[in-house]
């Protein structure tokens, strides 16, 4: 949870939390599919310069615990819409990255205090398998990347002084950051250069992938660093 949300969560009055979803179909030639729940909205929701289309969907089963098995949320999509039915039929979704973004309504692009950085911790999942398919709906099971069948641990190279997270990138056309395809959870508005020493403007924000860079961005917090600083060469 970033500093903005930590402050907002302590306020007595808060705007509703809006939940947005993304299916990254870039490697399937379909781009990024952005949507929200039709029950909550009757018009597109705009966040970080992108529109999220209301669809008849239901996403359940998010559970976070340090014990037991990893949660496997279920994504249900009604296929009554011809465009959705076409997408489901022609696109194999197994292995597609899935993101859940939660943000207060006030911080949406058309809110009273627009701020694309004011999100709760973004949830990253992968579409694992289709569990149901009828004329009315299709259901998929989501999982984390390392919990997929056949996945070996560690799932990345063991590097002592380099983080393997994909860091956010700045889009000069929108004046905002691109988070699609990123894995680093950093969304704050403190910007550092590649050397990790000097604060800079948003367009020059860059992570040097060192442990010190992670400590700069996540002070007094558990570090999401994906390097292995404790590894000893033999």
What mean pLDDT is predicted for residues 71-97? 78
Q: Which phi and psi angles does 78 have, rounded to 5°?
A: -70, 135
* Distance in angstroms (rounded) separating the CA atoms of residues 155 and 67: 21
Q: Does the CA dihedral 154-2-119-176 come out positive or negative?
A: negative
Give, in order, the Cα–Cα distances in Å from 35 to each of 6, 17, 21, 215: 26, 15, 5, 34
| Residue 81 predicted with pLDDT over 60 | yes
* Distance in angstroms (rounded) separating the CA atoms of residues 194 and 175: 20
Q: Which residue has the higher pLDDT, 140 or 89?
A: 140
| Residue 59 predicted with pLDDT over 80 | yes
pTM: 0.61
- H or E element that contains 229: none
pLDDT on residue 220: 82
* Distance in angstroms (rounded) separating the CA atoms of residues 171 and 33: 19
| Residue 91 predicted with pLDDT over 80 | no
Query: Per-residue confidence at 71, pLDDT binned at 50, 70, 90?
Result: confident
The neighbouring-strand residues paired with 139 are 76, 132
The pLDDT mean for the chain works out to 81
Query: Per-residue confidence at 52, pLDDT binned at 50, 70, 90?
Result: very high
pLDDT on residue 11: 61
Please report, for the chain, the start and end positions of each structural domain, with discontinuous segments joined by +: 3-147, 156-229
Strand order in the sheet with 31-37: 45-47, 50-55, 31-37, 17-25, 97-104, 123-133, 137-143, 74-78, 57-60
pLDDT in tens, 171-203: 888 888 888 778 888 988 889 988 877 888 888
| Residue 135 predicted with pLDDT over 90 | no
Q: How far is C-alpha 175 from the chain's CA centre? A: 19
Q: Which residue has the higher pLDDT, 56 or 21?
A: 21
pLDDT in tens, 36-51: 887 777 889 999 989 9
pLDDT in tens, 136-179: 888 999 988 655 555 555 555 667 778 888 899 888 888 888 88
What mean pLDDT is predicted for residues 40-63? 87
pLDDT on residue 51: 92
Give the residue carrying structure tokens 């950085």.
117
């Amino acid at each position: 949870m970033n500093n903005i949300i930590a402050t907002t969560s302590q306020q007595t009055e808060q705007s509703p939390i809006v939940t947005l979803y993304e299916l990254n179909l870039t490697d399937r030639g379909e781009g990024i599919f952005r949507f929200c729940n039709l029950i909550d909205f009757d018009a597109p929701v705009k966040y970080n310069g992108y529109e999220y289309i209301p669809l008849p969907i239901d996403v359940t089963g998010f559970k976070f615990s340090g014990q037991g098995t990893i949660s496997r949320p279920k994504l249900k999509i009604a296929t009554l819409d011809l465009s959705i039915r076409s997408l489901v039929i022609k696109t194999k979704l197994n292995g597609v990255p899935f993101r859940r973004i939660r943000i207060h309504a006030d911080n949406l692009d058309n809110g009273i205090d627009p701020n694309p950085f004011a999100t709760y911790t973004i949830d990253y999942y992968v579409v694992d398998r289709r569990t149901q398919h009828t004329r009315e709906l299709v259901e998929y099971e989501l999982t984390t990347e390392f919990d997929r069948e056949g996945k070996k641990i560690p799932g990345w190279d063991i590097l002592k002084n380099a983080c393997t997270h994909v860091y956010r990138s700045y889009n000069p056309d929108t004046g905002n950051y691109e988070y699609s395809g990123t894995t680093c959870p950093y969304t704050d508005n403190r910007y550092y250069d590649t050397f990790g020493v000097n604060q800079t403007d948003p367009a020059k924000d860059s992570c040097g992938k060192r442990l010190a860079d992670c400590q700069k961005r996540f002070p007094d917090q558990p570090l999401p660093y994906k390097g292995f600083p404790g590894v000893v060469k033999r």
